[in-house]
Structure 1
Amino acid sequence: MLVEEVMKEDVITLTPSDSIETALKLLNQYHIRHIPIVDENQCVIGIVSDRDVRDASPSILDEPSESNQLQKPIQSIMTTPVTTVHPLDFVEEVATIFYEQEFACVPVMKSNRIVGIITEKDMLHTLIHLTGTNVQSSQIEVKVLNKPGILPKVTQVFGKRKVNISSVLIYPYKPDSNYKIIVIRIQTMNPLPTIEDLKEAGYEVLWPKMPGMTT
């Protein structure tokens, strides 16, 4: 899945000379948490978060002389440089950026111009769709040998019941690297017939553990 498929295209931006007060109003008005700061060519040169603005806002305990804090330019509190991604980047790879750099959002740039933004919430929503948990389905985990060609052999078993596969994920089997776990979600609330087919084909089903079933 590509970034352009999940990014928000209507991005609220500010220029470096805009005031902190303006940023505060936009954050509240549009219920957003981040605002990219762009130059005259719409190139991202910084970013501010709701926390940045909150920390820069005067407290009711501040002296009156500090009340003009909100009139300072946003460039005085923006974070720079900014990590950006391209619309044709893979969402799965962008997820690594979110995890390793602990970002809450990333602007999307094309030809040195901002064209969108992707947030943690967007990433979680995408993960839900990629794993197929957004549709009514059943999850089956199968332990298989870690060897080429095993995936099509396993999915061939599912074709016997003509059930629709929502998603397929593969995880390492930690106790033994010679095996891996194939996680398949199928659009049925009764996975028992398919589980029996898998067992008859010689595969070990780790989940679900049905009462009375042996591995």
Structure 2
Amino acid sequence: MDNRWSDLVSPGPTPVHPLFEDVTEETVTVLRGASGPQRGVTGLSEDEGRLGRFLTDAHDVFWLGVHGGAGESVLAELLGGTACHHRWPARLDEEIQHAPAPVFLVARQNKRGLDAARLAARDWAAGAHPDVDLQGLVLVADAPGRTPKSLVAATRVISGGVPSTWVVPWIEELRLTGTVDWESMAREPRKVLTALGEAADEALSERTPQ
């Protein structure tokens, strides 16, 4: 099996978001990558900025910001779930079998954010977080307009190492007011957030006892 991490390996719930009928059938680009941890991926050392952990038995979706200002709190507010900021969720009692926690990594689509996302994704790929069922990576645009080619290229490389990658376009009102109104939101970010919310709902429903 091809190792999608060849460029990254170190040497040696009830939904709270509205769904928009006018956008749910439109295509949203989702980049697909590795579905699980892979052999040969080297984990992170302490000096590489490895993220911490927190204990929880919550039956929820978790949004994990891989750096400050990533946007995980906004996603949790809009789509439901828990913003766990810069820590991986871990289960309380290792002797009790728990379903892995569904986690979405969140980062800004800039150099700093992509570097942080690469490290967090590599940490997961090395098998360091058995309590986590990584759903993918959410990249939030940090500026209006066309994304620079270098960032697009880096996005594609990193997306190969996580199950799915969504890119949320620039939301001007979030910059100006700190909040988002679903009704007035521009069509493109609304499409992506609707699809992302559906993915979060599906991830949680798969773990809901029948």
Which TM-score tier does this pair reach, normalised by the shorter chain? under 0.3
Q: Normalization by structure 2: what TM-score?
A: 0.22
With a CA cutoff of 8 Å and minimum separation of 6, indicate the structure with the bigger relative contact order: 2
Q: Normalization by structure 1: what TM-score?
A: 0.22
The structure that is strand-richer by fraction is: 1
